[in-house]
Homo-oligomer: A and B are copies of this chain.
């Protein structure tokens, strides 16, 4: 193409401000492409998809030295008129870039929906902006009909020619199942088809006619709960969210018991694998049904989960993960065909699993990193994702460390006398009157506190993790237990029972519970909480030491547990190292958010792979100082002096003795 200066016009694309010269008669789409402005186009210039809508800005743009006016663009084409008539809308200043041709200098505004790489912002505790660049893109093409004289090209070869000619796509492959159905689809679509392309190279789906719509699922495969988000890959919109229990809980509540189940039962791995695959297929079915779609419309999936959950998903024996040195089968991201796992989604769909940092810091933690991005922050962050294991991250853009601490099941209600998960009936908040030492509490499912409603309506069933933290903090503040966690002997309250070997506090009376029996917290329960919080605290402190910081500037509490706990009371018991409470944020299901971001952005996936190797994993339990620090951190809290702003809340004297049970 020769650029004859006489036939060139200055074109400025907004909002990017990119400018350059276009030839007289060139389409705006071609002009944009040459200037590196990416405009959406599915139909490839057929004037049917309307994705390439742009606005012609009229006016005297002195900044650029040009006057842009509607006369500088070719008149509305028949195809454009048909497009707008079909939608019964007035085009206004909108033009389809694929057909509007340059006739003079122009300022063009590319609205956000027409930009090929849109910035989208996801609502969340922390603002998460991402450039929309999913692995899946769609293209509409008209394919030449077969012809005895066309060199006997097959359907796939003619489709490749069409994709090359219309969309400049080259070196394409096709998934076998897309190839298998190709002839049928071409005939149904009368040789007009919509192609779904994965990673710019593999055709994974072909649909008859113009069939806009590419969908993905981001799945957070938790030990207890499985949550899936159905996402529109063209807009980033969340179309449906579904959650269910992980059916593997039948075989074991926590990671170690599932590993044991595999070790003890020859068919244990297969059973748990099949259970989760069937569950995921159900999850996809529910989510697609909610959005009036079909499971086969899902052509891309991203899954995060801890390393044991990922092993069970892949039908890989997790037994080695149960012992030193916790070897992973791979630490890198995995791409595989979802059909190879038997998942009922699109036949050509790819499943992407985020990389792992180490044997016990898996794809779920990488999801947290991608969502919270501590690697681009100046502030030193402490991020904890609390479950049976707590994943801990400490650092900022210069250096980031990770660890996993075995908090045990206490925060999830496990091994607690009346412990339960955060479900309806769970006591999730507790307050103890400092004078009367009597409790009031809030139960999941009710808006009101227990003292604001009749006893028989409360139906408390147990205490969940956040309730336990509230309880221990309140017991401490009320002086019912000491900083060593032990029940104080002289406590004038009928709720405190100390006699013989019994040491317990009554939280809910028999009348307030669904079982008709009291709900109590025992000395043993308090100790379990102390052990759990100490594991977390010690892990965080060791990482801080390694990172060379005394204090963190922000604490992010990830996961459902992090969302529900009272951060003030969590700090009272010393769940995490001290930090200005204003800089402690519950951030919700960060792992799942990270999965969604990776579904929308190939750059994030690549970033995750790099970060997984960059983040320094520390085997905290293997550090020589671990044991000593762990014992120290069992105290509630280990030193009151670090919480001056809490002093008013706390009773005196408040110095822990070093004699522990």
Q: Are B154 and A331 in contact (CB under 8 A)?
A: yes
A1 at the interface (CB under 8 A from B): no
Interface size class of A (residues with CB under 8 A): 35 or more
**Which residues from chain B contact A151 at a C-beta distance below 8 Å?**
613
**Which residues from chain B contact A334 at a C-beta distance below 8 Å?**
176, 179
Identify A316's interface contact among B147, B183, B324, B325, CB under 8 A: B183
Measured in the bound complex, the distance between the Cα atoms of B614 and A151 in whole Å is 10
Give the residue among A146, A154, A357, A358 with the most B Cβ atoms within 10 A: A154
Q: Are B324 and A156 in contact (CB under 8 A)?
A: no
Q: Are B183 and A152 in contact (CB under 8 A)?
A: no
Query: Could you list 15 A-B pairs, sorted by A, with CB under 8 Å?
Result: A151-B613, A152-B331, A152-B357, A152-B358, A152-B617, A154-B327, A154-B330, A154-B332, A155-B327, A176-B314, A176-B337, A176-B340, A180-B315, A182-B329, A183-B327
A121 at the interface (CB under 8 A from B): no
Give the residue among A328, A330, A340, A622 with the most B Cβ atoms within 10 A: A330
Identify A176's interface contact among B177, B317, B336, B622, CB under 8 A: B336
A610 at the interface (CB under 8 A from B): no
The 7 closest A-B pairs by CB, nearest first: A146-B327, A152-B358, A154-B330, A154-B328, A154-B331, A156-B330, A148-B325
**Assuming the A-B contacts A176-B336, A183-B320, A316-B183, are A155 and B330 also in contact, with contact meaning beta carbons closer than 8 angstroms in the complex?**
yes
A322 CB to nearest chain B CB (Å): 13
Q: Are A316 and B152 in contact (CB under 8 A)?
A: no
Measured in the bound complex, the distance between the Cα atoms of B329 and A330 in whole Å is 37
**Which residues from chain B contact A267 at a C-beta distance below 8 Å?**
none
**Which residues from chain B contact A184 at a C-beta distance below 8 Å?**
317
A153 at the interface (CB under 8 A from B): yes
The residue in chain B whose Cβ has the minimal distance to the Cβ of A153 is B331
**Which residues from chain B contact A467 at a C-beta distance below 8 Å?**
none
A439 at the interface (CB under 8 A from B): no
A619 at the interface (CB under 8 A from B): yes
Known: A157-B331, A176-B314, A180-B314. 15 other contacts (CB 8 A): A146-B320, A146-B326, A148-B326, A148-B619, A148-B622, A154-B330, A154-B331, A155-B328, A157-B330, A179-B314, A180-B329, A182-B329, A183-B320, A183-B327, A183-B329
A359 at the interface (CB under 8 A from B): yes
A655 CB to nearest chain B CB (Å): 38
Measured in the bound complex, the distance between the Cα atoms of B159 and A331 in whole Å is 12
Q: Are A147 and B325 in contact (CB under 8 A)?
A: yes
**Which residues from chain B contact A613 at a C-beta distance below 8 Å?**
151
**Which residues from chain B contact A622 at a C-beta distance below 8 Å?**
148
**Which residues from chain B contact A328 at a C-beta distance below 8 Å?**
152, 154-155
**Which residues from chain B contact A336 at a C-beta distance below 8 Å?**
176
Measured in the bound complex, the distance between the Cα atoms of B331 and A277 in whole Å is 37
Measured in the bound complex, the distance between the Cα atoms of B324 and A316 in whole Å is 50
The residue in chain B whose Cβ has the minimal distance to the Cβ of A358 is B152
**Which residues from chain B contact A176 at a C-beta distance below 8 Å?**
314, 334, 336-337, 340
Q: Are A179 and B315 in contact (CB under 8 A)?
A: no
Interface residues of A in 152-211 (CB under 8 A from B): 152-157, 176-177, 179-180, 182-184, 187
Q: Are B146 and A325 in contact (CB under 8 A)?
A: yes
**Which residues from chain B contact A156 at a C-beta distance below 8 Å?**
329-330, 332
The residue in chain B whose Cβ has the minimal distance to the Cβ of A181 is B316
**Which residues from chain B contact A325 at a C-beta distance below 8 Å?**
146-148
**Which residues from chain B contact A331 at a C-beta distance below 8 Å?**
152-154, 157
**Which residues from chain B contact A320 at a C-beta distance below 8 Å?**
146, 183, 187
Measured in the bound complex, the distance between the Cα atoms of B430 and A483 in whole Å is 110
Measured in the bound complex, the distance between the Cα atoms of B331 and A184 in whole Å is 17
**Which residues from chain B contact A359 at a C-beta distance below 8 Å?**
152
**Which residues from chain B contact A146 at a C-beta distance below 8 Å?**
320, 325-327
**Contact flags A564-597 to B (C-beta < 8 A → 1, else 0):** 0000000000000000000000000000000000
Interface residues of A in 136-156 (CB under 8 A from B): 146-148, 151-156
**Contact flags A338-368 to B (C-beta < 8 A → 1, else 0):** 0010000000000000001111000000000
Interface residues of A in 346-400 (CB under 8 A from B): 356-359
The residue in chain B whose Cβ has the minimal distance to the Cβ of A622 is B148
Q: Are B177 and A329 in contact (CB under 8 A)?
A: no
Measured in the bound complex, the distance between the Cα atoms of B152 and A329 in whole Å is 11
Measured in the bound complex, the distance between the Cα atoms of B314 and A156 in whole Å is 14
